[in-house]
Structure 1
């Protein structure tokens, strides 16, 4: 476990998810930009994906790793959310109901960008960011499939600039979030010693975001404003410092860093579970957002309960399922051969390559 994760990056993940939780559950003005926590996630994702691309043996191996990383928790958390909503529909906010078809199709639509164009509802409103993530992953997959792996960051910059300049400022797209992925990938290049590539990438990311700001580009998911640009700049610096000085953070701030990093470890299932289930719990307890006497419940008790649920998902499903599922998706025939009784003695050795890859890259 220790060799697979960066304490600094996990601490930033924790800050991101805590930021989002406080935004959704604590009615204080200071937390009214909680969606910026998602933007920090995007920078972190860009950083981690850069390493995942480098260590992938093929385009499909890269995408198999992404599916293996995201699907286990998504399947379970989406199932829980859909179950709760159907068992207790009176607690669901208007317009946020979901059917079992919606749940099942979400597992298909997210990795395929809804190529079938089927109308459906996501199990939880927070899943909108997964739609953005998968668009980024598919871009990486396509560039790798075309043999352009070594030019991935440059191509992402070119495509982002082109789409930005050729899209109406009144027409919002996922491209509006790509500067955050570019910034994260640029930090990875900087850590790898590719300074020129990193500087160009960061310059493009910052310039595109300033273009968005200057021309009042519309983006309803996360409004484009000066604070968003500041988040891009400060988040990029934070990811660099977390990656570069990870060992210093662990040594000097161990008492604070280790518990915070634990929240980062369970941040993905916590993000998937928190919004609609959390609001259903508040509704069940008759706690409104303007009920100040319940501030402790909203800020501490409820997030703590959701974190416990997320830890169970991580410990029982996500952690044990990631590598086997990745191996299955990456090479189904080899996985079946390993599963035969005659190959039982060689299972661990056969699975070692995917484990070695995981230890060489930050967990995304």
Structure 2
């Protein structure tokens, strides 16, 4: 355990030195964990509703964590991409970041679904659904939900499509992040003119794609006028709080407004944060490092936890259960990070010997 903690602090320290996260963007690394944890709480609330018949999901606003992820992704891709290194380098880095853990967990869920199909509801595993899941091709389940075998992978389908657009622009020599942003806007607009009963078309033209554009726009503002953000974290954060308080009436306008505005404001609020590398900060960065495995794996920890509790558990039991499930989810994410994600990234970063 001590060795793992030391390695985690080394990872965090490396992030602060710019090897993983630029020092100026340390707040985004911490925010990644916050966004993942928002989603954990949202799914915890859903699980408690299903298992115990709760009327409402007290963590319903946690769904905004996905929107925060997409805005961060748009910002980070525009910020960190070096067009001079080319499209292949860009694609390689993205695949190493996303694929190993996703494929491992997908394989695990596929085996579980084949052995105990009743545990995973509408998840059907066959050759077609497995191939489409592994290669980020959207398809509709029997329930109508457009989700891969590892159901939270639906967000990765959007991510990989965004990366594909960005890589294609780099390959064509179109270096400005405004170009992929414009392509996404055109695609979302095109669905209103071109009506196709084709799942990938309807999926990839969803307005949710515009949150990557919001992230790119935030990057362009930050690059050209960074002084706008300095010293304004608190007022921007208060604007985020206000937007969350007004989320219900904003939903009447459009869900993209209700979710996108808070996500952009929260990302903007953390941009100027660049604290000294204290142990607490390093631990927070470590939590940011494990946000991806936490995001992908937590629903299954939550499901296992709630199924072990009697059907008529009271509020106190549910609170204890929820807290324990969250801790276990984070613990599992740390294990997955050190056993799968970190080793594959380190292996990919080792320079190849010259021949």
TM-score > 0.5, shorter chain as reference: yes
Q: Does 1:16 align with 2:35?
A: yes
- 2:147·2:153 contact (CA, 8 Å) conserved in 1? no
Change (3 A) 1:102 1:158: closer
Equivalent residue in structure 2 for 1:275, among 283, 290, 299: 299
1:126–1:71 Cα change, 3 Å = same
Aligned partners of 1:81 and 1:277 also within 8 Å: no
| Aligned match of 1:106 | 133
Contact 1:81/1:276 (8 A) holds in 2: no
Q: Secondary structure at the match of 2:180?
A: helix
| Structure 2 residue 188 is matched with structure 1 residue 164 | yes
> Which residue of structure 2 aligns with residue 299 of structure 1?
322
Measured in 2, the distance between the counterparts of 1:56 and 1:84 equals 44
- Asked whether 1:38 is paired with 2:69, we answer no
Deviation for aligned residue 1:45:
0.6
The CA deviation string for residues 189-245 of structure 1, in whole angstroms up to 9 with x for no partner, is 2332268xxxxxxxxxxxxxxxxxxxxxxxxxxx885564143223223222322x2
- Structure number with the bigger relative contact order (C-alpha 8 A, sep ≥ 6) is 1
- Cα separation, 1, equivalents of 2:214 and 2:182: 14
Maintained 8 Å contact 2:43/2:299: yes
Contact 2:64–2:259 (Cα < 8 Å) also in 1: yes
- Go from structure 1 to structure 2 and tell me whether the alpha carbon gap of 1:224 and 1:49 turns closer, same or farther (over 3 Å shift): farther
RMSD over aligned Cα atoms: 3.4
Distance between the aligned counterparts of 2:86 and 2:210, measured in 1?
Answer: 25
Question: How many residues in Structure 1 have an aligned counterpart in Structure 2?
Answer: 290
- Structure 2 CA distance for partners of 1:35 and 1:83, relative to 1, 3 Å: same
Structure 1: runs of 5 or more not aligned? 196-222, 328-333, 347-364
Kindly report which structure 2 residues correspond to 1:1-364, keeping only aligned pairs within 5 A, or say none.
1-2=14-15, 3=17, 4-5=20-21, 6-26=25-45, 27=48, 28-54=56-82, 57-90=85-118, 92-98=119-125, 102-103=129-130, 106-107=133-134, 109-110=135-136, 113=137, 122-150=148-176, 152-153=177-178, 155-168=179-192, 172-175=202-205, 176-193=207-224, 226=254, 228-243=256-271, 245-248=272-275, 257-283=281-307, 285-286=308-309, 292-325=315-348, 335=352, 338=353
> TM-score, length-normalised on structure 2?
0.70
Alpha carbons 2:181, 2:212 under 8 Å: kept: no
SS at match of 1:96: coil
Provide the C-alpha distance between the structure 1 equivalents of 2:81 and 2:320, rounded to a whole number of angstroms.
42
- For normalisation by structure 1, the TM-score amounts to 0.68
